[in-house]
């Protein structure tokens, strides 16, 4: 597996009973975009999602780690409560503790979107955002 591939968004890692991913990004905003893509690629096949609706999302956290968990939790909440799935994310404003973005996608359709896994929660387990060389990375664990 080539970890330096420029188009690689995330890498699945072995984890019993949960889903654990390593997410990569050239910048912190890109890391957040790739984490969101990984969330929806875990739920369904993200590349099958079309751009039919957009949702403004604003979250905050006490630090970057909490901001990431709140961002992913908000996106998962929109799937669970409103059946919305997204695969494109445009971050409009990013500070270490605040984020506003546009999520672009469509309503979930079981005929079009194979349901892979329902995520109960985004956890803080093993969560540490760090800069490694010229990119950022973090591990994320989804409780399933």
Q: Is 17 left (phi over 0), alpha (psi -120 to 50) or beta?
A: left
Distance CA 38, CA 68 (A): 13
Q: Is the pTM of this model over 0.85?
A: yes
pLDDT in tens, 81-126: 999 999 999 999 999 899 999 999 999 999 999 999 999 999 988 8
Q: DSSP letter for 47, please.
A: G
Distance CA 118, CA 44 (A): 9
**Structural domains of the chain, ranges and CATH numbers in brackets:** 13-143 (3.55.10.10)
Name beta bridge partners: 54: 104
């Amino acid at each position: 597996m080539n970890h330096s591939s420029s188009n690689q968004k995330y890498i699945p890692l072995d984890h019993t009973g949960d889903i654990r991913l390593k997410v990569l990004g050239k910048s912190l905003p890109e890391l957040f975009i790739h984490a969101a893509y990984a969330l929806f690629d875990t739920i369904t096949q993200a590349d099958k999602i079309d751009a039919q609706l957009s949702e403004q999302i604003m979250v905050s956290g006490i630090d970057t780690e909490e901001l990431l968990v709140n961002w992913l939790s908000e996106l998962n909440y929109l799937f669970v409560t409103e059946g919305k799935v997204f695969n494109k994310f445009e971050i409009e404003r990013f500070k270490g503790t605040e984020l506003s973005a546009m999520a672009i996608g469509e309503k979930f359709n079981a005929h079009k979107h194979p349901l892979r896994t329902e995520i109960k929660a985004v956890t803080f387990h093993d969560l540490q955002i760090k800069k490694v060389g010229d990119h950022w990375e973090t591990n994320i664990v989804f409780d399933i």
